[in-house]
Amino acid sequence: MPRIRVADVSHSFGDGSARRPVLVDLDLTLAEPRIGVVGANGSGKSTFVRLLNGLVHPDAGTVTIDGRDTVRDGREVRRRVGFCFTDPDAQIVMPTVAEDIAFGLRRRGLSKDEMRARTQAALTAYGLDGHADHPAHLLSGGQKQLLALASVLVTEPDLLVLDEPTTLLDLRNAAMVRRVVDGLPQQVVLVTHHLDLLDGFDRVVVFDEGRIVHDGAPAEAVAAYRALATR
Ligand SMILES: Nc1ncnc2c1ncn2[C@@H]1O[C@H](COP(=O)(O)OP(=O)(O)OP(=O)(O)O)[C@@H](O)[C@H]1O
């Protein structure tokens, strides 16, 4: 498993008097296979996970993935850390499903045959076989989320970061995404408001106003989060 090190990290958004701290003095190491991130709206969860692939550069402190700094070694980090956004439309970049999956493989020095084979394997693995040449934007919400996952996983990242991947999905599609995620060999960091997704996770961190206020097993963490929400 990759080792995520977040060392003395703080981050603010805005300028001048509008400057607001969003993450405050975070210091933690994440080496478990399944890590959940929960907390109220605006508590800093997305900003936190965006640190992990260098989408956000910390104002203070450092973030490293297996010793690679997300700022200094950004390219290398992005290659190893796959990221899925809540809204899969934000991630679809090519007209057809197969082209979208293949897009992630460009500039990897693969032969055309290899690219085709890997794309085909991803289409099959994520139940998108029959949709290879369909316009990606016409897929259902659940299929788009699977496409977003497939397009990231085809690149074989060491770490997968999922920011609320089931928020837009019905129960059936949420269960499908869960099954896919459960079966992955990779380390997964998952932000979610669907607390049942965290059953069986190794560790869950609870955010409140930019700080981690609980860090432990899922049942305790969820209880701590519920207590915060009813405070
Ligand atoms: N690019 C940005 N510019 C300015 N402010 C931002 C930016 N990104 C996030 N923020 C602010 O930082 C705070 C934390 O946002 P963040 O998206 O990390 O929270 P969250 O816990 O993921 O929330 P949610 O559960 O609603 O997705 C919010 O107040 C948000 O408005």
In DSSP terms, which residues pair with 35 in a beta bridge?
Answer: 189, 203
pLDDT in tens, 34-76: 999 999 999 999 999 999 999 999 999 999 999 999 999 999 9
Token readout for 81 is 């850390």
Q: Percent of the chain, pLDDT > 90?
A: 74
68-69 β-sheet, strand order:
20-30, 4-13, 60-65, 68-69
Residue 231 pLDDT > 80: no
Token readout for 32 is 């478990």
- Per-chain mean pLDDT for the chain: 93
Contact 166, 177 (CB under 8 A): yes
Contact 142, 170 (CB under 8 A): yes
Nearest CA to ligand 1 atom 12: 22
CA of 77 to the centre of ligand 1 (A): 22
Find tokens 């402190």 and name the residue. 61
Domains of the chain (ranges plus CATH)?
A: 4-87+153-229 (3.40.50.300)
Nearest atom within ligand 1 for CA of residue 47:
18
pLDDT in tens, 86-140: 888 888 999 999 999 999 888 788 888 999 999 999 999 888 989 999 999 999 8
In DSSP terms, which residues pair with 207 in a beta bridge?
Answer: 39, 212
CA of 201 to the centre of ligand 1 (A): 25
Between CA 39 and CA 193 the distance in angstroms is 8
Nearest atom within ligand 1 for CA of residue 43:
21
Nearest CA to ligand 1 atom 29: 42
pLDDT at 108: 80
Question: What's at 36, amino acid-wise?
Answer: G
CA distances from 67 to 33, 76, 119 (A): 17, 11, 30
pLDDT in tens, 7-16: 999 999 988 8
Find tokens 């995404």 and name the residue. 177
46 lines ligand 1 (CB under 6 A): yes
pLDDT at 78: 94
